[in-house]
Amino acid sequence: MKSELVAGESILLVDRKQRAYLRRLERGRRLSVRGGTILCDDLIDRAEGRVVRSSLNEPFLVLRPTLAQLIPQLPRRAQVIYPKDIGLILVWADIYPGARVVEAGAGPGALTLALLRAVGPEGEVVSYEVREDFAEMARANVERFHGKAANWKLKVADAALHLDEREVDRILLDLPEPWSLTERAWQSLRSGGLLLSFVPTVLQVKNTVDSLRAHGGYACIETLEALLRPWHVQGLSVRPEHRMVAHTGFLTLARKIQRGE
């Protein structure tokens, strides 16, 4: 990727207090930020990593957002999976270039964006979302922040009733009752494939694990959570930040095996 910014891209304007404002570059447009304005034409075709001044003479650092910076700012009406969990999911669910992945519970599409990036153009992502309005949000976010993706299919359907893909490498469930998909997910996965569920409460974890164990077609079942503690590093003040996101959810993982083995 080149450093020069192009029209249509999203950028962050970072102020002196490290507050980041997500904006989109469009030719001829004026961006409003903290009461002042910045001309898009002064940013397009010029490198990210520069400081620009708004009409109020306030300096802003111009950067493309990383996925971790983008996700908390995604337009949304449903909870997204936080970057700390998405990082863990990509490695523990072993999402690799070329993988065939199904996710259920697309919501605003935060995980979808990470999956599309991880599977690459050779891979394939199918997302289920039961609510049309949330599916529309996922569509808009993927188009805006990933771009057109020929290898992405969004199905507006209840995954517990309609998930019907076959020979899938990975299935990721981010919905309230993952245990309602235990059998369907098993039918969809290839042998050796991996199922991951993400739920916020321990009762949901227990139901999920009990259901996977009782099924007989899953092995290597494990549950974990990620705690991420940011640090404040300024002069001699080097310490954990006073605030952190203490709880998001639990990951449960399982591998599909031949039933009963």
Ligand X SMILES: C[S@@+](CC[C@H](N)C(=O)[O-])C[C@H]1O[C@@H](n2cnc3c(N)ncnc32)[C@H](O)[C@@H]1O
Residues that bind ligand X (CB under 6 A): 78-81, 104-111, 128-131, 134, 158-160, 174-176
Residue nearest to ligand X (CB): 107
To ligand X, the closest distance from the beta carbon of 177 in angstroms equals 7
Q: What DSSP element (H or E) covers 195?
A: strand 189-199
- What's the helix, strand, coil split of the chain in %, to 5? 30, 30, 40
- Considering beta carbons, is residue 80 or 149 the nearer one to ligand X? 80
To ligand X, the closest distance from the beta carbon of 40 in angstroms equals 28
To ligand X, the closest distance from the beta carbon of 64 in angstroms equals 20
To ligand X, the closest distance from the beta carbon of 158 in angstroms equals 4
- Considering beta carbons, is residue 175 or 253 the nearer one to ligand X? 175
The two three-digit tokens of residue 226, written as one number: 């990620």
- Considering beta carbons, is residue 65 or 108 the nearer one to ligand X? 108
- Considering beta carbons, is residue 54 or 127 the nearer one to ligand X? 127
- Considering beta carbons, is residue 106 or 251 the nearer one to ligand X? 106
Beta strand 168-173 pairing with 237-240: unpaired
To ligand X, the closest distance from the beta carbon of 96 in angstroms equals 19
Any idea what DSSP says for residue 66?
Answer: P
To ligand X, the closest distance from the beta carbon of 128 in angstroms equals 4
**How far apart are the C-alpha atoms of 232 and 214, rounded to whole Å?**
46
- 206-245 CB burial, b ≥16 within 10 A, e <16: ebbbebbeebebbeeeebeebeeeeeeeeeeeeeeeeeee
Beta strand 30-33 pairing with 20-24: unpaired
- Considering beta carbons, is residue 54 or 252 the nearer one to ligand X? 252
Burial class (CB in 10 A: 0-12, 13-18, 19+), 172: buried
